[in-house]
Structure formats: C-alpha cells, structure tokens
Structure 1
Amino acid sequence: MRIVVGIGNPGEEYARTRHNVGYDVVDILAARHGASCAKHKFHALVGECEIDGQTTLLLKPVTYVNESGLAVREAVDWFKMTVDQVMVVCDDVNLPLGKLRIRPKGSSGGHKGLKSLEAHLGTSDFARLRIGIGASASPDLVNHVLSRFGKDEQPVMDEAKALAADAVELWMQKGLDACMSKFNVSPEAPKSDKKEDQ
C-alpha cells in the first residue's frame, strides 16, 4: 500500500491557486484511476484506488497547508505504514514555473506544509515531489502562493501537473530512482537553426 499526499488548502476560494498544485495532482490521479477524494477521514479528503496493482490512498489534508502533517500522521498510524510508503506532492516557489523536482528526503525549503509533515512524522526522510510555481515579483509571498496562474502560465502548469501524476505512477511501478532519473531533468532548450561559425 502507498499514500500519495497532495498539499493544499480546502475550499473553493483556494481552488486552482499556486499553493494547491498538490491537490490538483491528486485529483488528476483520482480521475485517471476511477477514484474520488470525497470521503472525510484522517482530517483529510480521501480516495482509494489501484495503481500498478497496489492499493493507493489519495490524501488531501483539510487542515490547511500549515498543519498538513496531522492528517498524514493519522493515516500512517492507522494503516501501520512507514514513511517510505508515502509520496508528498507540493508547490515550490523557488523552482521555475512547471519544473519538477523529486527527492527521497530533504529539508522543507521553507514550505510550511513540509515543515508540518516533518514535525508530525518525526523525520524528513519521506519522498517529496515539488512543482515549481514561479518566484514572486513582490516581497508578499503569501499573496503570491494564494494567487491563481496567469493566462500564459496555465498551459505550462497543466502540463507540469500531468507530468507530476505520471511521476507518481512511475514511483509506484518502478521505484523512486527510476522516477527521479526520468523527471528530474530540465526541458531541453530549443535548438537554433543558425549554424555556428567554423
């Protein structure tokens, strides 16, 4: 069994905001695998599905981002699981828009949802998939993460979220190393038609 956690804030006012990309990826996985995150349990919206033959719990904590760890701790304890069976999906303001970064462990990088998970789980040794939401143009980081993507940004993020769902599926199928090898790459720069001087 595995748990996929999408970090975000509950409520329509937060839907489709930068801080909720984790929620969005979990929703994509639910749609792909015939699940619905409609059940309230573990201080979260929960769905269950099969991915690559493995029972997968899709978890969207409703504790707001800053207390996300409470829901994950409850689910891990209930199913008597270990943290290596957990993948956390969240936004990252320090990554370029649409860039994915997958790590087996690490620091919170200032993300309060990850800080909460570390506090409640007692470790930072859990897999996390970060999705770049772009840097803030102003010092007001809160307004930035709670804003929605612009018209030009949305196609980039739609593709990134779909790729993030692909990455979670590959983690289920072939493990974290294969997942990191495939998705921790920067998009190739467009090749110039201009020939270099000899």
Structure 2
Amino acid sequence: MKSDERWLIAGLGNPGPWFRRTRHNAGFLAVDRLAERHGAKFRLHGARCRVAEIDIDGRRVLLAKPQWFINLSGNPVATVLRSHGIPTERLLVVQDDLDFPFGTVRLKRGGGPGGHNGPRSVNKALGTHDYIRLRFGIGRPPKGQTIGSFVMKEFSQAEQADLPALLDRCADAVEALVARGLSKAQDALHSTDA
C-alpha cells in the first residue's frame, strides 16, 4: 500500500554556514530544494541529523542532512534509516561527484564510492552499498588545484547561474524515483541529456 512505503533521501554535505554553497554540499542543496518545493522545514533528529518530511505521490519521504562532516555521514544516515524502519532499498543518497562534468545528474543503484568518503562512510555504517545514489557532477579541479581545495570552494559564478535549474532537475529525479521506480526515473532523467 502506498502510504506504508517510506523513503529516506539523504543529502551529503558539511554542516555550518561557511560550507553552504560549496561544491561538496551539492547533496544538501538538492534536499533543500525538495524541502522548499514541498513547503517542509528541517528539524533536529537527535544530535546527528536534520530531517524534514514530505509526501510524494502518497508516499512518506524523509529528507535528511547529517550534521557531522561528510566523511562521517554514515552513522547519522544509518540511525535515521533504522529508527524509521526504512529498508536500504528505499534509501537514496545524494552526493557531489568529481567524475561527471558539472551539471550531470545520474541515478544508480549500488557501486563503489569512487574515492568519495561520504558514500564510503554510508557503506561502512550500513554494511552494504546496495542503495540508490543520485550523483551531481561537479567536474574535476583545474590544473594545479587540489581536489580538497576544489570541492570546498563555492560554485563559480557561471555555475551558480545554472544551479537553480540543476537542483530542480535533481528534485524531479527524486520525485520520479519515488513515484515511478528506479528504471523509469533513470529513463526520464537520462533521456533529457544532450
């Protein structure tokens, strides 16, 4: 029954206002966009996570933003997942991804962390990588800039101009996933690529 099908959408990022618009916080920005779209407000869930609740197509959906640094995201995500009795197959982790050009949005089930410490922490806490990820491409750093420095900087001015539409694309993908399933959401998302 629809009303019994609950989802957890966990955006990965770093807490604190100084990280808010950085590339590493693409996951937070995407779940913030979903909350705004549905008129939801985040509240504290224990000391580890901020959560908001929305409805997508009659299904209860929790949005989560772990309040530990991104490389320690796993335990807060696992705590919320388990405390609400949500199975890992209905967990979506939203993250930035260096391996895709800026603005690329991809849905995928499973797979390794690809050098990203956020999913690595989630994998460890859950004991599995069999959950869905939405990866937001941020591109690679320019020559001479370290990855650490690149991901902790704010999006460029040109990227910021494109960001609202891209975050809407992420929100559309999440809504399609919950309402129609992974395969149909992937078809809709990936068919819009040039």
- What TM-score do the two structures reach when normalised by structure 1? 0.91
Structure 1 residues 33-112: aligned runs within 5 Å: 33-41=38-46, 43-112=48-117
Q: Distance in 1 between matches of 2:73 and 2:178?
A: 22
Amino acid at match of 1:181: D
| 2-structure distance, mates of 1:123, 1:42 | 24
Compared CA separation, residues 42 and 59, structure 1 to 2 (3 A): farther
Name the counterpart of 1:31. Answer: 36
Computing the radius of gyration from Cα coordinates, the structure with the larger value is 1
1:120-160 Cα deviation digits (max 9, x unpaired): 00001000000001110134111100001111111233222
Q: Report the equivalent of 1:195.
A: none
Q: Given that residues 8 and 86 in structure 2 are in contact (C-alpha distance below 8 angstroms), is that contact kept between their aligned partners in structure 1?
A: no
Report if aligned partners of 1:8, 1:60 keep a CA contact under 8 Å in 2.
yes
Matched, 1:175 2:191: no
- Once the two structures are aligned, what percentage of the paired residues are identical? 36
Instruction: Give the TM-score of the pair, scaled to structure 2.
Output: 0.93
1:4 aligns to 2:1 (yes or no): no
Residues 26-50 of structure 1: CA distance to partner in whole angstroms, max 9, x if unpaired? 1111111121113243611111121
Structure 1 unaligned blocks of 5 or more: 189-198
Deviation at 1:77, TM superposition (A): 1.5
Higher helix share: 2
Could you tell me which residue of structure 2 aligns to residue 17 of structure 1? 22
Q: Structure 2: where are the runs of 5+ without partners?
A: 1-5
**Deviation (angstroms), 1:80:** 2.1
Q: How many residues are paired up? A: 188
Instruction: From the superposition, tell whether residues 75 and 106 of structure 1 become closer, same or farther in structure 2 (CA, over 3 Å).
Output: same
